[in-house]
Structure 1
Amino acid sequence: MNSKEILKYGIGILILEIILLGLWIYQMKPDPSTSIGIVLILPFLFGLNLIIGLIFYFLKKPLSKLFLINSIICPLIFYAFWSLWFIYWNERNYEDFSFGVDKRKLEVSLSKTSDYFSISDLTNKPNGSTTGLYFGKYERKGDSIKLTDGETKMYIIKNKLIGFPEKPTEIKLTRTE
């Protein structure tokens, strides 16, 4: 097998694994709680290609070098797709608004994949952690949103929060990206 044929096989394998790895991540739709899975998947992809390459090497097949090189390339492609998936993950799954009450920075987060909301305190929290204040279901009606957490009912109307227990008057909300 000459180098042109090996190059053709290499390009074919590269295109095939780009398509398969991209579809796999798209089908999995991972969320941040599953990010630890990359610790298992990357070594698996490396090991799989390495084993195939070694088998071909011992069988004296010319594609052995291709799979040995692919043992590095395949995990890098997977890592790139995995990272790209999470770049705009929050924007795809949540609609966020920020507001302030008594020198505290707060955030309303509405899930785009369910009917749940949360209101969290973002003030003085190390490492990006937050303190959850309210959590419940929301319902859209026209241009308004009704937030319900047990007995507490709040409304978002024209980017204003109405009925927040700590400041019942309307609070201007700022949409965050």
Structure 2
Amino acid sequence: MNSKITLKYGIGILILEIILLGLWIYELKPDPSISIGIVLIIPILFGINLILGIIFYLLKKPLSKIFFVNSIVCPLIFYAFWNLWFMNWAERNYEEYSFGIDNRKLEVSLSKTSDYFSISDNTNQKNGTTTGLYFGKYERIGDSIKLTDGKYKMFIFENKLIGFPKSLNEIKLKKAE
């Protein structure tokens, strides 16, 4: 097989690989809780291509070179798609508002994939962690949002939080962008 045909096969495999890996990640819809999976998936992709390269080499097929090169290229493509998926992940999955009260930074997070909300304290937290304060379900009613914790009912109306347990006044919210 000459180099032009090998190059065509290589480009074909590359295009197929880009389509399949992109569709796989899109269908998988990974969330940050499974992001450690990359530690397993990348070596598996490397290994599959390396094994195919060895098999084709032992069969004296010129495709072996393609799979040896692909053992490096495929994991890199997967890594790129994986990182692209997690770019703006929070914005795709959550609607967030922030506010301050008593020198504390708090955040209201509404899930776009379910009807759950959380109110967390972000004050002086290390490594981006938060302290959960209130959790429950929310419901959109007209132009307001009703937040129901097991004990409390709060509302978001015109970017104001009404009924927050630590405040008698309505609290101005800043929508995260």
Regarding TM over 0.5, the answer is yes
Whole-Å separation in 1 of the counterparts to 2:62 and 2:113: 49
Residue 168 of structure 1: CA displacement? 2.4
In structure 1, C-alpha distance between the alignment counterparts of 2:4 and 2:38, rounded to whole Å: 34
CA distance, structure 1, for counterparts of residue 25 and residue 168 of structure 2: 44
Which residues in structure 2 correspond to 1:75-86 (within 5 Å)? 75-86=75-86
Matches of 1:94 and 1:144 in 2, distance apart? 17
The DSSP-based 3-state class of the residue aligned with 1:60 is: coil
Per-residue deviation, residues 14-60 of structure 1 (Å, max 9, x unmatched): 00000000000000000000001111100000000000001111111
Aligned 1:1-177 pairs, distance under 5 A: 1-177=1-177
1:53-106 Cα deviation digits (max 9, x unpaired): 011111110110110000000000000000000001100000000000011000
Rounded Cα–Cα distance in structure 1 between residues aligned with 2:63 and 2:84:
30
Deviation at residue 128 of structure 1 after TM alignment: 0.9
Q: Partners in 2 of 1:7 and 1:96 — Cα distance?
A: 48
Question: Hey, what's the Cα distance between the residues in 2 that align with 1:128 and 1:86?
Answer: 16
SS in 1 for 2:60: coil
Aligned length: 177
Name the SS of the counterpart of 1:30 in structure 2. coil
Over the aligned positions, Cα root-mean-square deviation in angstroms equals 0.5
Please state whether the residue corresponding to 2:164 is helix, strand or coil. Answer: coil
Q: Which amino acid aligns with 1:131?
A: T
Structure 2 residues without counterparts, runs of 5 or longer: none
**Deviation, structure 1 residue 152:** 0.3
Find the aligned partners of 1:60 and 1:79 in 2 and give their Cα distance.
31
Q: Report the CA distance between 1:151 and its aligned residue.
A: 2.1
Q: Secondary structure at the match of 2:86?
A: helix
TM-score w.r.t. the length of structure 2 is 0.99
Q: After the TM superposition, list the runs of 4 or more consecutive aligned residues in structure 1 that deviate by more than 2 angstroms.
A: none
Quote the Cα distance in structure 2 between the aligned partners of 1:77 and 1:31.
19
SS of the residue aligned with 2:8?
Answer: helix
* Distance in 2 separating the partners of 1:20 and 1:71: 16
